[in-house]
Structure 1
Amino acid sequence: MTTTILVVDDQASVRQLLREYLSEHGFKVITAADGQSALYTARHENPDLILLDLMMPRMDGYQFIKQFRQERQTPIIIITAREEESDAVLGLELGADDYVVKPFRLRELVARIRATLRRISGADQRMEILHVGDVWVDLQSRVVKVRGKEVYLTPLEFDLLVTLMRAPGRVFRREELANHLAESGFAGLNSTLNVHVRNLRCKIEKDPAHPEWIETVFGVGYRFHRLE
């Protein structure tokens, strides 16, 4: 089955370049010139992945992510001309999965796309259910339930949760977590790892400011709480 990618950018030259290059690499490419038309296209075409510019007319990338994440968890890779990390971090806080900065190498972009897609389809089949306390993860269906209620995670948040839950009580160094997630496409620094941890806490913790499950080990990293 052909993978469909939605390219959202207000520059026609960028849309055309990405359409041609990604098509040559076996992807079906659809495009939109702003956030509003991207919402319509994403709802009707159901793409497998979205490449999203941030600075656009009518509805910018931030507004798109905020609204779209209320509806679907399709992976989103930000493409931005700004090199300030804060721009990308804000996109990650809103629910994007990764980012690349223009000008980017097309080969690198394709590698990021394929790695992100592998995250979605590569659930570990050796263990179908992870369960610690009131947190349940079905690896095959990628369904997460907390206190009996389903919560919706981005692909990277899901991988982060699974990594921690597979070894409750084990302290993962920040660099170790970043390197592990890099195998599935994460290319962020410590600050962006913090964003994903914070987002995950907001979705699974009763009180994200005082987390019960994802514990910070100061100066080292994170661990998932182990029940005695």
Structure 2
Amino acid sequence: MTRILIIDDEPQIRRFLTISLESQGYQIIEAESGRRGLEQLALEQPDLVVLDLGLPDVDGQQVLKDLRGFSDLPVIVLSVRNSEKEKVQALDSGANDYVEKPFGVKELLARIRAVLRSTSGKEVPPKAYDDGRLRIDYHLRTVVLAGERVHFSPREYDLLLELVQHPGQILTQQYLLKKFWGPSHLEDSHYLRIFIRQIRSKLGDDPARPTYIETEPGVGYRFIGGS
């Protein structure tokens, strides 16, 4: 049974999440503060953490940094804080996803499933992405859409591959710019927008109703294919 640790100081939120997640077969562990959450993490060894940022003793951003100092456990931040700065900080500090309060339980469950899929079985990485329409062969570096080979430049392919290999996870603009253009280009987000636009065009992906690449405005991009 998948074990989820909820770190949130609001009893009603913990109660709501416990009822909702247990009904889907998850086992829930609760913590009402940052320090208690880190203790429960060490004692209970959960499979995933749902972390609030507004904790009474230690700010959730610091809890995330402390957690990442000794664990690569998947973390979904669940917070009322909705500024781009908070989102980017959390994602760059190692959060796998960021969900704003108030939230829909169906959306949260879908995010949990996506994060668990993306972090399971990492020791045997897949050789390709294939959903029946789009196939990306990681070794041959080929992209086939609806049976037709599609040409991608090396930079376009590497950027697409980075997104595909982190399904359901928001990759921030800063992360992608640093990885593909270097630390001196962290403010050059227009580079990224141009390449994402080109990739979407080649995949026939409508940014208003995406099948593959979803934009988190001002924050980054998420691969949603197959989720």
Root-mean-square deviation (CA, aligned residues, Å) is 3.6
Which structure 2 residue ranges, 5 or more long, are not aligned? 128-136, 142-152, 197-227
Q: Is the 8 A contact 2:80 2:102 kept in 1?
A: yes
Alignment pair present for 1:169 and 2:154: yes
Q: Is the 8 A contact 2:88 2:172 kept in 1?
A: no
Quick one: structure 1 residues 94 and 24, their matched pair in 2 at CA, closer, same or farther if it must change by over 3 Å? same
Q: Is the 8 A contact 1:5 1:49 kept in 2?
A: yes
CA distance in 2, matches of 1:63, 1:177: 31
Q: Is the 8 A contact 2:177 2:192 kept in 1?
A: no
CA distance in 1, matches of 2:5, 2:71: 14
Alignment pair present for 1:209 and 2:183: yes
Quick one: structure 1 residues 166 and 80, their matched pair in 2 at CA, closer, same or farther if it must change by over 3 Å? farther
State the match for 1:106 in structure 2: 105
Alignment pair present for 1:193 and 2:178: no
TM-score computed with the length of structure 2 as normaliser = 0.64
CA distance in 2, matches of 1:165, 1:87: 37
Paired letter, 1:42: L
Q: Is the 8 A contact 2:173 2:192 kept in 1?
A: no
How far does residue 99 in structure 1 lie from its aligned partner after superposition?
0.5
Q: Is the 8 A contact 2:51 2:78 kept in 1?
A: yes
Paired letter, 2:81: R
State the match for 2:45 in structure 1: 46
State the match for 1:74 in structure 2: 73
Paired letter, 2:113: R
How far does residue 173 in structure 1 lie from its aligned partner after superposition?
8.4
Q: Give the SS at the match of 2:17.
A: helix
CA distance in 1, matches of 2:3, 2:140: 32
How far does residue 179 in structure 1 lie from its aligned partner after superposition?
6.8
Paired letter, 1:193: T
May I ask how many residue pairs the two structures share in their alignment?
173
CA distance in 2, matches of 1:30, 1:108: 21
Q: Give the SS at the match of 2:13.
A: helix
Q: Is the 8 A contact 2:4 2:47 kept in 1?
A: yes
Moved over 4 A (4+): 122-127, 163-166, 176-179, 216-219
Quick one: structure 1 residues 78 and 125, their matched pair in 2 at CA, closer, same or farther if it must change by over 3 Å? closer
CA distance in 1, matches of 2:126, 2:93: 32
CA distance in 1, matches of 2:96, 2:140: 21
Q: Deviations over 1:22-62 (max 9, x none)?
A: 00000000011111111100011111000000011111211
Which structure 1 residue ranges, 5 or more long, are not aligned? 128-162, 223-228
State the match for 1:9 in structure 2: 8
Q: Give the SS at the match of 1:50.
A: strand
